[in-house]
Amino acid sequence: MERVLILSGSKSDEETYRKAAKTLEEYGVEYKLEIASAHRNPELVEKLVKETKADVIIAVAGLSAALPGVVASKTTKPVIGVPVNVKLEGLDALLSIMQMPPGVPVATVGIDNGKNAALLAIQVLALKDEKLAKKLRDAREKK
């Protein structure tokens, strides 16, 4: 069963969401990857968020970057937004994700930084998983 759901607003964001997937795989964390746009497929986004058994959701989006906020509005699970550099050097996406209204938090990582999104998700999971916590500690000690 997946512990992390990776949602991407577009297949064109593949380079970014693959970084997250690769990092989760390196740590042995099961995930599910879905492509669903908050603008083009809002019903699918809602269904995926409501039905997931994952503990953490990573939402990857560029341009207006509505996906992380929409996801956060549908769940109380931690949501990590990853802005993608599509236009304006990714600042448009970054600001869209960061400026959520009070009561609908979205953790935000750097532009195109799928790896940090995965590491943050792993840190959340490691709060209740000592094996993951040890893997994180060991990885930091190697650097």
Q: Is the pLDDT of residue 143 over 80?
A: no
State pLDDT tens for residues 35-82: 999 999 999 999 999 999 999 999 999 887 899 999 999 999 999 999
Residue among 52, 62, 78 at smallest CA distance from 34: 52
State pLDDT tens for residues 106-121: 999 999 999 999 999 9
pTM: 0.96
CB 124 within 8 A of CB 136: no
